[in-house]
Structure 1
Amino acid sequence: MGKDQELLEAARIGNIAVVGKILEQISKRNSGPFSSFRRSPCINSQDVNGYTPLHHACLNGHGNIVRLLLAHNAAPDMPDIRGSTPLYLAAWAGHDEIVKQLLLHTPKAANPNAQTIDNETALHCAAQHGHNTVLAILLAYGADPTVRNNSFQTALDLAAQFGRLQAVQTLIRTHPELLAPYRSSGSKTPTTSTIESTPYTISPSTHLFTHTCLHLASRNGHKKVVEALLAAGVDVNIMTNSGTALHEAALCGKKAVVNVLLQAGVNPNATDGSGHTALDLLKDYPPHVTYEIVCAIKDFYKDASNGTHFKPINELSDGDDHERSDSSISPVPNIAFERGQNDAKVSAIAHKEFLMPKTPQDQSPPPQPCKVSPVKDA
């Protein structure tokens, strides 16, 4: 095993004695006369995945080795083959002290807004995986929460999608401007007249968003996140081409979220880009599949016609833990659906798991070989 690969392996497994010995050799060989003619191990050597010793130490939580490598001028922003920096890997793993080390390192600190080939930052990673301490540190040291990845998602979108309630609360508390595009300038709770007499039909030209944090949380059944977003002022009737958040929750069998949205004043007559209400879409499926969702929406019509008052969002019941999908307690199965680019009509398949987005358990971790791969050729 060459010295470069030995350094990579020692950094990965946390062998500080070997790391220190090799770094001392590097320092000696890089000083004195004829140093330029000597072949010495490289502190920034990369394996076939593009990982440097600093990547390995950050990913595996070896803070003492991170400190030692940085003191010997390891590059804090060197990307791997997917564009992930050591900071990104530390954020993915939730190593808050290492994240802080990288951001405080002098003379050159890690860039908190470095992006991967998918245009994701460390903040996206921390938000998706619910590492709230890491999230707060990144925000304190200049991470930009408005950066969007290749799927046009911000850190808030990912936190909402994966049900990370604390991350959602931190982001909207520290950066309330993130919700500005989603706030209504004068939305009102629908009345009997708006429900029965004047169908709330919105033309496709007014569907301004490809997705919203409210839609992402609703389709995945994250009730507490939905409540937090509504309490922060997100318009319950905000639209995408898929319709309102009610369309998303209803199609995915998220009964508890459907009830929250209805009580918060979502308009059940709002239509998606092809002119369908949530009830219209549910007609395509067997009644035993959609029974509870359909009943909840129809009961809403009855309550509205009877003059039932809607609950303020802060009076809604707590419900389940935010990390658990409502489908785990509801007899209504999830409904998988696909929307073609050239066909706005929803095509759904009952009795199967909702196919997008993936749950955190389905997410693959950053590539980390069981043992250090061969050093990349220079």
Structure 2
Amino acid sequence: MAGHGPVSPGTYLDGTPIWLVTGHPEAVTVLTDPRFSSDVTKQGKIDVAAAAGLPEDVAPYLMHTLGAYDPPDHTRLRRLVSREFTARRVERLRPRIQQIAGELLTGLPQEFDLIERYAYPLPIQVICELLGVPGADRDTWRAWAADLGAPDPARIAAGARGLVGYVRDLVAAKRRAPADDLLSGLVRVRDEDGDRLGDEELIALSISILLAGHETTVGLISQSAWLLLTHPLDRGDVATAVEEFLRYSGPAELAVLRYTLEPVELGDVTIPAGEAVQVVYAAANRDPRRFDRPGELDLHRLDNAHLGFGHGIHYCLGAALARAETRIALTTLFDRFPALTLAGEAGWQPGFKRALTGLPVRT
């Protein structure tokens, strides 16, 4: 893909022509230049909701994520969410993350699936406790979340409606009986400052935090562990290693689509106004113009300006939490099982998105 130049024509899922940005400096420009909008309503070429199989009645709740707004609405919403999703709250979670990791690794058989028994339940339990999702409901919304990626449009619609209905009811429950959790905090913001956070925005933000807060972290933990198990590596410092895992094989391979508000010259190409632009993080993170030996996994890489969490005003709000979970997960895993090895072939999700579905290991 990147062999065609840092900016090149391509096609979207529905066949609509788009522009692919695979170069690192060009990607940074798209992610920071206000001539590129994140608001899908500012273009008319792609029906993103239809391409994703989302029914009209619930599409707004799943399309209006924090990453799909421009300033000043983005500034307003991010400030409101940031008041509750703070670094202090994440720091308070560290002992609990450590406790969950230890509990998950206790009493395991000699052979087990690392994803099913560890990499998946750890982030789910953390994000549910952070948001205030009851433990008894986790398997239910996990099934709905899985349906959003199904090939069957009926399953996608059912999953979307299930999630929206569930979060709507959960918001109502938090309003009746608030607790010390993120969702209760967002409800409080809504009720105390209702003209700044609408009900649709509240539900959409809650769903996006719930989904993003577990899916990408599951991918980061599992793919990082797979790399450690399949490469002759000196594990070194885990903090530095996680940054290299994000660059080399980060779970977020594509950015949210951007749209040109006017003609833009980028990478020796002029992109007309009203065009859809897709930044490909996976390619930009291996741009030889920015990274020395980009195809080499170097756990001690110091100059590592990867785009694994995005860049600019839409930089991942949960980056600190994902880093903390992954560092704790990997350190705890290999401290507990220093001789951990693969017990079979890893399973990979079919399709355009690279994600592990199974990782059999032996202690």
**TM-score, shorter chain, exceeding 0.5:** no
Query: Over alpha carbons, which structure has the higher Rg?
Result: 1
Give the alignment's TM-score, normalised by structure 1: 0.24
Give the alignment's TM-score, normalised by structure 2: 0.25
Larger RCO of the pair (alpha carbons < 8 Å, separation 6+) = 2
